[in-house]
A and B are shown apart, each in its own frame.
Chain A
Amino acid sequence: MLLTVALRSLLRNKRRTAVTLATVAVGTAALFLFRGFNTGLLNEYRNNAVHAHYGNGQVNTIGYRDKVLAKPWEAWIQNPQEVLSNLLKIPGVEKVFPRLEFSALVSNGTRSLGARGVGIDGAAESEFFYTINVVEGNPLRDAEDGIVLGRGLAHSLDLQVGQRVTLLSNTIHGTLNGADLEVVGIFHTGSRELDDSFFQIQLPHAQRLLDTEKVEKVSLGLARHEDWARVEQVIRATFSGLEATPFEILDKIYYQNSVDFLNAQYAIVRAIILFVVILGVFNTATSAILERTQEIGMLRANGESKKDILSLIALEGAFAAAAGALIGLLVVVLLNMTILRDGFYMPPGPGITRSFKTYIQLHSGMAIEAAFLVLVAAVVGSLLAALKVLRMPISHALRQVG
């Protein structure tokens, strides 16, 4: 019976119900859309981080990342071929990319700059690391004497594709070594840190330059990033002396800080939206309830407790909110299937130097969260509106003129 009254009460004043529905629908849509936008943004950030440089994570010897070592090469991975083939046997691991990172002087013949180089398997990496975004020339691929420079680094040295550069570095034994290479490409990851100081050469070249057969680390390419925890567990259990680190930790400044920033931003926007919904519903519910003061007085006179009345008002609020939330969710889904379907370009974010395309990425969990939060806000708004009438003695409520 309470349900019947609650449902039919929505039709008492259609205009007011429409206002409540609209308030709730807009609130739900805003939450759902903003959450979907944030998720799309984070996925783009994640893709950028994974496919520009880090892979889904990296494997190195235990403690290697945490210590400053006098002789880091002593902690590099020995027998890399064996490690690579064993890593590939782990379910979920699709690609392995051995790497050797080192410092070197890059010289164009007249000027030299200190930079960070990485020796890679050029042929293997060219497909997986697609967001490295080569803006001139080609990725390293199988160019044996090739070098690919970050755009900032190439710009600083006035280097173009086809020109030659000299690398100077120390071997692990402390002697000076050099290599003469041809610029085959210039990349632009969007991350200033990488673009201004990084270059890539073939791994064998790097190993010769440093006079070692070891690799420093192995980047992993997974079919799904969600498999990372399981892969990490297998590595910990199977490979003594090795540890795996996900890209979120490797790229804390760019990715994890972005995640934290966007989540904090979402929390603030969410609080504002919910406050507006509470205020909006409170406003319409107050006039609805004041009009029904005598009815509420009659119900209380006939034995309904304050709790019973609050249940009735909460039910009415919940029905209106559920309908409004459904409308809001449907509108967002429709928008995402039509005008937002092809995504849109975003200006460069913090720490990024190029714009990127993003999409609204929606899933059911977000819809449930948005609808639930707005529903709770609407019920709270309704209950707050009811409190004034419930504080009145019953006889006063009965005397009120609606």
Chain B
Amino acid sequence: MESLFQGKSVSLSYIMDDVRVEAIKQLDFEIETGKFTCLAGASGSGKSSLLNLLGFIEPLQQGQIKYRGQLISEFSEIELNRIRRFEIGFVFQSFFLIDVLTAEENVEYFLARQEVPEEKRKLLVRSALEWVGLADHAHKRPGQMSGGQRQRVAIARALAKQPKVILADEPTANLDSKTGSDILQLLVRLCREHGCTVIMASHDHQAINMADRVLRLRDGQLLGEK
């Protein structure tokens, strides 16, 4: 299986309340294309930090990460923006929908920014919303929807971009167990049906059980994998 990300001696630290926190320490890893990978670990284990590095939203401080065989340190800011715009979809714990746009417009926004022609755009939006079961809620704004529905819109937004990889950071943490389970199912289906690589940071046992591969982290180091 082709490798999507390869990391070697990756370290990351940051200052929190005047204390330096070693979020990731000398981590080596490899994540394969087309699989559902779960970054598992307790809070503070470094899973979200690693996810941020993989999404190029946290500057790499030490070590090297390759994306599709190329060192990310070699990418210019314009290239990183392009990759994030066209190849990566994000699903966040707090959904981060644009509250002045409807569900439909939230999904459409990044397609418009990708300059997808309007006709195709509408088609992609409709099918993404249908796929997450929100076709009837297309004209609702985030404030009119439940947490589960908002997370579905966020997944539809990521899916509509037709990305190579979806990075999901604790997507079920703010949801009840039933809704969280539905969201997990959606992400698994996304991987199976659309061939999309899904990398999810979670400490949810259900997520860990459903993943093709689990990287267990503790104190910024790889504890083991399944």
Contact = CB atoms under 8 A, between A and B. Distances in A.
A305 interface: yes
Contact of A301 (B57, B59, B77): B57
A302 B56 CA distance: 10
Interface string A368-402: 00000000000000000000000001110010000
A35 interface: no
Interface magnitude class on chain A: 20 to 34
A224 interface: no
A229 interface: no
B204 interface: no
A305 B77 contact: yes
A394 B58 contact: yes
B57 A294 contact: no
Given A294-B94, A302-B110, A398 B101 contact: no
A151 interface: no
Contact of A393 (B57, B99, B110): B57
B213 interface: no
Nearest to B59: A393
Interface string B91-120: 010101011110001001110110000000
Contacts of B49: 395
A298 B94 CA distance: 10
Interface in B6-47: none
Nearest to B158: A302
A85 interface: no
Interface residues of B, number: 31
A52 to B, nearest CB: 61
Contact of B58 (A5, A308, A393): A393
Interface stretch (A7-15, A190-198, A280-288): A7-15
Nearest to A308: B113
Interface stretch (B82-90, B145-153, B217-225): B82-90
A295 B86 CA distance: 19
Contacts of A240: none
B105 A4 contact: yes
Nearest to B110: A302
B1 interface: no
A68 interface: no
A1 interface: yes
Given A1-B112, A1-B113, A398-B92, A301 B100 contact: no
A174 interface: no
B162 interface: no
A46 interface: no
Nearest to B12: A395
A300 interface: yes
Interface in B163-195: none
Contacts of A9: 100
Given A303-B113, A305-B77, A394-B57, A5 B86 contact: no
A298 B92 contact: yes
A4 B99 CA distance: 12
Contacts of B55: 301
Interface in A298-350: 298, 300-305, 308
Contacts of A308: 113
A301 B87 CA distance: 11
Contacts of A304: 81, 85, 113
B81 A305 contact: yes
Contacts of A393: 57-59
A4 B49 CA distance: 33
B96 A295 contact: yes
Interface of B: 49, 52, 55, 57-59, 77-78, 81-86, 88-90, 92, 94, 96, 98-101, 105, 108-110, 112-113, 161
Given A298-B92, A394-B52, 5 more contacts: A1-B105, A12-B100, A300-B84, A301-B84, A394-B57
30 contacts: A1-B105, A1-B112, A5-B100, A8-B100, A8-B101, A9-B100, A11-B100, A294-B94, A297-B57, A300-B57, A300-B84, A301-B55, A301-B84, A302-B89, A302-B161, A303-B82, A303-B86, A303-B110, A303-B113, A304-B81, A304-B85, A304-B113, A305-B77, A305-B78, A393-B57, A393-B59, A394-B52, A398-B57, A398-B92, A398-B96
The 5 A-B residue pairs with the shortest CB-CB distance in the complex, in nearest-first order: A303-B85, A8-B100, A394-B57, A298-B96, A1-B112
